[in-house]
């Protein structure tokens, strides 16, 4: 037994070395370009890098449940970043270094993610194989699959793929021995903490996996399956409780601001011809770049990729051919079921609880395909390998030929975007299957030579996809924006920069007017709705709407010419100088003289609503009585066609709050009004806010997604305190359940040593 464990550890170490080597060779050509500054394309450059740097600054005062001011108009740190790696152990490594180093660390962290993905997959697959080489080959196929390559622009997706196999390994150990639940609890904890969105997908998949696996195991009756289900459920609840510090606040956020609403329609059942072809392509051929697909779509971002390096689906087909659906194993039933789900969008949306159609669960399908491939390599004489690979060769060649013919017959359909690259993908797929046939002819599928060839395909296809991403555009300007943002300072806590760019506003802590992100505060979404704007991954660009830059404290702007002003800051970049200049803008907090009902505001032309909001705070009818004695009701017709924005800004500035200070715990200020006032703040409304004037709690009124506060006459100090909703309860759950897990682990180790 000890010898077997030692061999398994040695096999895991060898697999880790191979994965690290393949990843290093794939990434090396790009790690040292641009002085070590690593970037990929689009979202990686404009989200992953600036978000990582902004989160680093947000966590410097050790208040993860607080408020971050650099994220657009401000937002809960947890709500903003828990989807983007706040709970990832890979991100925590970057916290050991200065925030400015983050763009230079991401490539090396990528190598670590690929290595961990291979190791966790190895220990899962190794439970089903006799040989180490076949398990290592399957692990490499998973870690360097097309899903991984295609999603290189999404840095945080690879955290999920690296940690997911732990979940299935933990489940297997628990099914094998109901008392051995430690790994399952930990796996649920680390996956739930890592990313709440993907954890939902993983939870749905694990339920399906449990059902196929349990009913496919010998000696399992309904009573035993029920007991296993209860045990797994309780263990999973324990793991989720340990992750509650991020999971509970994220759940509160999701319920309060749903990312997308969906409705079931007949069209959700079926894919059109183009989409079906694209789905088939994702299984048969290597991963493409999302930014510029070589076939079917100009660009597509739904992670439709499941090809395995060298093997594709060929070895999996051999496994399925032997194990017929009725008499086969659980795996031979589950893979076809998942492929069938992939064909029907409505069924695929079940992984997100029918909220949106997505294929981002395919990394889990990829792991099962890798498992089936490893089992075939492990016992090639028991499987119809030649038939499986020949069928795949025929299918891949026929598919490629059909695409080229279709493109020639219907050129206006635009089926092929890059014929040359598509042809290369086809050649790689066919070459891999042909080499496997050759290895099988000599009975060498489980040899070191087979593993070496898999490594070659892993390295080559990952490098090729990354190279295509990197060569799809000139990213010099994006790096300049990031370097500019790293020089910015918070010049005055009452004001923001008149900028709508992640790469400028997030790296060091400057505050801007909008954000490109999938996580946007509920208050911001509410305000955006006043302008009939809705987006899944972007807030309204307030720098482009008349009146809004002034309303949202956009005092600072950039210019290469001082324009006769005394610059507030000079930024050196690209051999030149960029100056920070001032513009007219209201402060973050000021007393308003008027209010306007939401329904009245919506009757104003959209392009004029920003100017109206400079004159009056918008409120809902049920709040009118609370402010009617503090300010007058505005009639939109009283506003001139060409309003004096400078004049109204000057008036609002005169009515500003004084001694304004802000940090991650909230903000404070003083007021000295001669009469009671309604003070408006361009800070998103959130139930986590608490306001106290001279220590006495005050009611915060919502105002079009922002906040309004009634302030008494005289000299007073008001303090707004923020705690992310659910953070306190989640922290208590994490502490208690985590302590229980540590105690459980210690006691189990003691008992094991005694035995």
Q: Does residue 197 sit in the same domain as residue 311?
A: yes
**Residue 43 has what pLDDT?**
87
In a domain, 54, yes or no: yes
The number of domains in the chain is 3
* 576: β partners: 573
In a domain, 734, yes or no: no
Say which residue the tokens 């920070």 belong to: 580
Crossing angle of helices 314-322 and 362-378, in 10° steps, is: 70
Q: Which residues constitute the domain of residue 533? A: 476-582
Q: Does residue 577 sit in the same domain as residue 561?
A: yes
| Contact yes or no for 667/661 (Cβ under 8 A) | yes
**Residue 264 has what pLDDT?**
47
In a domain, 751, yes or no: no
For residue 533 the two structure tokens come to: 């704007």
Q: Does residue 259 sit in the same domain as residue 355?
A: yes
Residues of the chain with pLDDT under 70: 1-8, 257-268, 325-327, 474, 509, 575, 755
Q: Does residue 465 sit in the same domain as residue 493?
A: no
Per-residue pLDDT tens over the stretch 503-549: 888 998 678 999 999 999 999 999 999 999 988 888 999 999 999 99
**Residue 260 has what pLDDT?**
42
Q: Does residue 260 sit in the same domain as residue 383?
A: yes
Domain end point (choices 470, 488, 509): 470
Q: Does residue 481 sit in the same domain as residue 610?
A: no
Question: Closest Cα to residue 284, out of 400, 375, 405, 368?
Answer: 400
Q: What is the DSSP string of 377-404?
A: HHTGGGS-HHHHHHHHHHHHHHHHHHHH
Q: Does residue 452 sit in the same domain as residue 557?
A: no
**Residue 232 has what pLDDT?**
97
**Residue 267 has what pLDDT?**
60
Q: 190: how many CB neighbours lie within 10 A of its CB?
A: 20
Q: Does residue 494 sit in the same domain as residue 594?
A: no
Q: Does residue 6 sit in the same domain as residue 124?
A: yes
Q: Does residue 432 sit in the same domain as residue 520?
A: no
**Residue 346 has what pLDDT?**
87
Domain end point (choices 439, 470, 501): 470
In a domain, 434, yes or no: yes
| CA angle 570–104–193, rounded 5-degree value | 110
Q: Does residue 712 sit in the same domain as residue 686?
A: yes
Extract the runs of DSSP E, i.e. beta strands, from 240-286. Answer: none
In a domain, 747, yes or no: no
Residues in the chain: 755
Q: Does residue 612 sit in the same domain as residue 559?
A: no
**Residue 355 has what pLDDT?**
82
């Amino acid at each position: 037994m000890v010898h077997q464990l030692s061999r398994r550890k040695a096999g895991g170490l060898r697999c880790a070395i191979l994965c690290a080597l393949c990843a290093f060779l794939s990434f090396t050509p790009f790690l040292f370009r641009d002085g070590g500054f690593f970037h990929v394309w689009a979202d990686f450059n404009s989200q992953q890098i600036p978000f990582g740097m902004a989160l680093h600054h947000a966590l410097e005062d050790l208040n993860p449940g607080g408020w971050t001011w650099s994220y657009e108009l401000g937002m809960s740190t947890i709500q903003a970043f828990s989807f983007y790696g706040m709970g990832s152990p890979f991100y925590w490594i970057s916290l050991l270094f200065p925030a400015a180093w983050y763009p230079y660390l991401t490539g090396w962290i990528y190598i670590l993610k690929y290595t961990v993905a291979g190791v966790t997959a190895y220990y899962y697959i190794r439970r089903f194989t006799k040989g180490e080489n076949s398990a290592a080959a399957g692990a490499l196929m998973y870690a360097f699959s097309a899903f991984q390559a295609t999603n290189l622009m999404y840095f945080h997706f690879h955290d999920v793929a690296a940690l997911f196999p732990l979940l299935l390994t933990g489940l297997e150990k628990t099914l094998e021995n109901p008392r051995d639940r430690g790994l399952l609890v930990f796996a649920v904890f680390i996956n739930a903490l890592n990313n709440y969105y993907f954890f939902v997908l993983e939870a749905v998949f694990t339920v399906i996996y449990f059902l196929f696996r349990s009913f496919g195991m010998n000696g399992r009756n309904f009573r035993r399956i029920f007991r296993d289900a209860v045990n797994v459920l309780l263990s999973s609840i324990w793991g989720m409780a340990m992750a509650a510090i991020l999971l509970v606040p994220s759940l509160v956020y999701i319920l309060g601001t749903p990312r997308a609403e969906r409705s079931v329609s007949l069209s959700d059942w079926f894919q059109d011809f183009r989409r079906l072809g694209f789905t088939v392509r994702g299984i048969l051929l290597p991963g493409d770049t999302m930014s510029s697909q070589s076939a079917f779509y100009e660009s597509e971002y739904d992670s439709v990729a499941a090809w395995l390096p060298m093997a594709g689906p060929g070895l999996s087909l051999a496994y399925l051919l032997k194990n017929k659906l009725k008499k086969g194993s659980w795996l031979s039933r589950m893979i076809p079921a998942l492929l069938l789900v992939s064909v029907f969008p409505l069924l695929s949306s079940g992984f997100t609880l029918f909220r949106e159609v997505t294929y981002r669960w395919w990394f889990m399908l990829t792991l099962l395909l890798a498992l089936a491939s490893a089992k075939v390599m492990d016992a090639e004489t028991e499987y119809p390998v030649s038939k499986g690979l020949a069928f795949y060769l025929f299918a891949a060649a026929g598919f490629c030929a059909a695409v080229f013919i279709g493109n020639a017959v219907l050129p206006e359909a635009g089926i092929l975007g890059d014929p040359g690259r598509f042809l290369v993908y086809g050649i790689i797929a066919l070459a891999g299957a042909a080499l496997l046939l050759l290895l099988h002819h000599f009975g060498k599928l489980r040899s070191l030579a087979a593993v070496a060839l898999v490594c070659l395909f892993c390295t080559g296809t990952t490098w090729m996809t990354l190279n295509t991403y990197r060569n799809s555009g000139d990213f010099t300007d994006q790096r300049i924006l990031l370097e500019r943002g790293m020089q910015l300072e918070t010049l005055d806590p009452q004001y923001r920069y008149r900028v709508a760019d992640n790469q400028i506003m997030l790296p060091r802590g400057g505050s801007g007017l909008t954000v490109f992100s999938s996580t946007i505060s509920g208050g911001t979404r509410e305000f955006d709705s006043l302008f009939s704007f809705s987006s899944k991954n972007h807030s309204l660009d307030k720098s482009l709407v008349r009146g809004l830059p002034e309303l949202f404290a956009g005092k600072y702007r950039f210019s290469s010419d001082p324009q006769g002003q005394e610059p507030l800051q000079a930024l050196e970049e690209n051999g030149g100088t960029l100056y920070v200049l001032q513009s007219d803008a209201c402060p973050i907090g000021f007393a308003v003289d008027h209010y306007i009902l939401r329904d009245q505001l919506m009757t104003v032309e959209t392009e004029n609503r920003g100017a109206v909001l400079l004159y009056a705070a918008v409120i809902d009818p049920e709040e009118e009585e609370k402010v009617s004695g503090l300010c007058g009701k505005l009639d939109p017709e009283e506003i001139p066609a060409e309003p004096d924005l400078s004049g109204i800004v000057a008036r609002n500035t005169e009515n500003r709050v004084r001694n304004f200070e802000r940090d991650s715990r909230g903000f404070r200020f003083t007021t000295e009004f001669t009469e009671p006032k309604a003070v408006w703040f361009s800070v998103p409304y959130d139930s986590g806010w608490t306001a106290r004037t001279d220590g006495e709690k005050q009611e915060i009124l919502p105002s079009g997604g922002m906040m309004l506060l009634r302030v008494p006459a005289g000299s007073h100090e008001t303090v707004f305190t923020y705690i992310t909703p659910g953070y306190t309860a989640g922290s208590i759950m994490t502490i208690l359940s985590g302590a229980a897990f540590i105690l459980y682990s210690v006691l189990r180790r003691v008992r094991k040593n005694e035995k």
